[in-house]
Amino acid sequence: MKKTEYKTALVTGAASGLGFEFSLLLAADNYNLVMVDIEPLKLEKAKNHIEKQSPISIMTLVKDLSQQNIAIEIFKSLDVTIDVLVNNAGFGLFGPFNTTNWQRESDMLNLHINTTTQLTKLALKFMVEQGHGRILNVASLAAFQPGPLMSIYYASKAYILSFSRAISNELKGSGVTVTALCPGQTKTGFQEVVSESAAPNKIKMNIADAKAVAKFGYNAMLKGKTIAIPGIINRLFAFATRFIPRDTVTSIVRKLQEKNRSKQLNYGNF
């Protein structure tokens, strides 16, 4: 009987939502897991759930990924090479830029840009040396246009998309691929509250299931696709922004934002 060979995947934001769904998919494909999250209780619960279903080994790391150089700290704690990296962790903040909390925005920039970039750089070093590897960076449909009332979030997701596309091109022929997953609104049971004072949520259409979004992104990663946009409406919107005047798109996004935020927000643009 052939012995199962295990590789290792690192997933950020792995305790819930898309990160948990990615972890389930990887475990089902016999990847040992390094699950990283800021929530220790949720992370332990997620680990226990997966261990009951899969004969893999799981390492959990409780880390605040918004801290500078946390990626180096994570990689120093590993005694294995990473074959798959899923940069999933992220959060949003709603409100006019002149009134929002700078510390929270600085944390978002560190998480979405610095940590995502540094984790990718550290993982790529070994992936390129071994001649294979997969990286999945969770961007957003928000990456395709400016986002009034969530300006930092939209801009940081645009960075993730642009960065992913660029290094995907650089890595052609190396055996390593980079995929940017760009979901629209996604229903998650553990989504952070974006704002405590936003308008009631009125938009109920085109909200995707986290399991379906994760599966779509996972399959795209395995196929080596550079960009993955789940849902025909989302793909049409991303395509349409190329032809609609930028100011018009920005105005439309603002109107949608004003309608689509609530005090207890369970629907997030990842």
Which has the closest alpha carbon to 43: 1, 89, 84, 76?
89
Per-residue pLDDT tens over the stretch 2-52: 445 679 999 999 999 999 999 999 999 999 999 999 999 999 999 999 999
Helix (H, G, I), strand (E, B) or coil at 206: coil
Burial readout 26-52 (b: 16 or more C-beta within 10 A, e: otherwise): bbeeebbbbbbbbeeeebeebbeebee
**pLDDT at res. 74:** 98
Per-residue pLDDT tens over the stretch 172-196: 999 999 999 999 988 764 344 454 4
One-letter identity of residue 72: I
Main-chain phi, psi angles of 145, to 5 degrees: -160, 160
Cα-based distances in Å from 160 to 21, 143, 233: 21, 8, 21
Main-chain phi, psi angles of 74, to 5 degrees: -65, -50
In this predicted structure, the answer to whether residue 201 has a pLDDT above a threshold of 70 is: no
In this predicted structure, the answer to whether residue 145 has a pLDDT above a threshold of 70 is: yes
Say which residues have a Cβ less than 8 Å from residue 130's Cβ, sequence separation at least 6: 81
**pLDDT at res. 157:** 98
Q: Span 68-72, mean pLDDT? A: 97
Q: Where are the domains of the chain?
A: 7-269
Per-residue pLDDT tens over the stretch 242-262: 888 888 888 888 888 887 764
**Which CATH class, in words, describes the domain spanning 7-269?**
alpha beta
The number of beta carbons lying within 10 Å of the beta carbon of residue 187 is 16
**pLDDT at res. 4:** 57
Which has the closest alpha carbon to 27: 51, 43, 61, 2?
51
Cα-based distances in Å from 161 to 18, 122, 140, 165, 266: 18, 19, 8, 6, 24
Per-residue pLDDT tens over the stretch 95-127: 999 999 999 999 999 999 999 999 999 999 999
Between 174 and 235, whose confidence is greater? 174
